[in-house]
Amino acid sequence: MEKKGLSMKKKRQTLAQGKIRKSGYRITSGRKAILEVLTELRGHLSAEDVYMKVHDYYPAIGLASVYRTLQMLVNVGIVFKFDFGDGRARYELVECPSGQDHHHHFICTSCGRIIDHSDFIEVELDFLKKVEDGLMKKYGFKITNHNIQFHGLCDHCADE
Ligand SMILES: [Zn+2]
Ligand SMILES: [Zn+2]
Ligand SMILES: [Zn+2]
């Protein structure tokens, strides 16, 4: 009998672990626990958020080690690191443009709200595709993902 497809969450973790190994890092239980938390919580997490949660699974882990692991995950391309301008870096699992959770960000420079947006408008997708194609041609750089942030005022703040 065919095994039921792995859940999305499991799939993400397996994929991430493959990437980590390929980049020459070992999968330690601490790293595993951090990946668990990132796939479970989603969203824009500070290192402290991750630390608090990961502590439930893996009490031996320290905040410094969470920071180091997050940075490693950024380096190998599993996690995006955002600086939303409030002095606290946020981390989010990378989702490729074809992934169902791929989204762009609006960042309100007044209240600091971070708004995910994935209901893309047509010209946005067209534009990005054209830009990526042009850049790949010009620089011979194979673009596999992008990280788009728009800064401005959210509807609340714009009204004031
Ligand atoms: Zn996109
Ligand atoms: Zn705002
Ligand atoms: Zn996001």
Please give the Cα distance from 94 to 76 (Å, whole number): 11
Rounded to the nearest whole angstrom, what is the distance from the C-alpha of residue 110 to the centroid of ligand 2?
5
Domains (ranges, CATH) in the chain? 1-94 (1.10.10.10), 95-160 (3.30.1490.190)
* Closest ligand to the CA of 145: 1
State the ligand closest to the CA atom of 119.
1
Whole-number Å distance, alpha carbon 104 to ligand 1 midpoint, is 6
Distances in whole angstroms, Cα of residue 94 to Cα of each of 57, 61, 157: 23, 23, 29
CA-to-CA distance for 86 and 10, rounded, in angstroms? Answer: 32
pLDDT at 158: 94
**pLDDT computed for residue 72 by the predictor:** 95
How much is the pLDDT for 24?
Answer: 94
Tokens 């939303």 belong to residue = 84
Instruction: Tell me the pTM.
Output: 0.81
Q: How far apart are CA 45 and CA 41, in angstroms?
A: 8
Which ligand sits nearest to residue 155's alpha carbon?
2
pLDDT at 5: 52
Q: In sequence order, which residues have a C-beta less than 8 Å from that of residue 22 and are 6 or more positions away?
A: none
**What is the reported pLDDT for 68?**
96
HEC sequence for the chain:
CCCCCCCHHHHHHHHHHHHHHHCCCCCCHHHHHHHHHHHHHCCCEEHHHHHHHHHHHCCCCCHHHHHHHHHHHHHCCCEEEEECCCCCEEEEECCCCCCCCCCEEEEECCCCCEEEECCCCHHHHHHHHHHHHHHHHHHCCCCCCCCCEEEECCHHHHHC
- Reported as a single tens digit per residue, the pLDDT across 19-28 is 999 999 999 9
**21 CA from centroid of ligand 1 (Å):** 27
Does residue 4 register a pLDDT over 70?
A: no
Q: Give distance in angstroms: CA of 85 to centre of ligand 1.
A: 21
100 CA distance to ligand 1 middle (Å): 11
pLDDT one-digit tens code per residue, 41-99: 888 999 999 999 999 888 999 999 999 999 999 999 899 998 877 788 999 998 888 88
CA of 159 to the centre of ligand 3 (A): 24
Averaged pLDDT for residues 7-22: 88
Mean pLDDT of the chain: 89
Distance 150 CA to ligand 2 centre (A): 13
Paired with 89 in beta bridges are 83
Alpha carbon of 60 to ligand 3 centroid (Å): 29
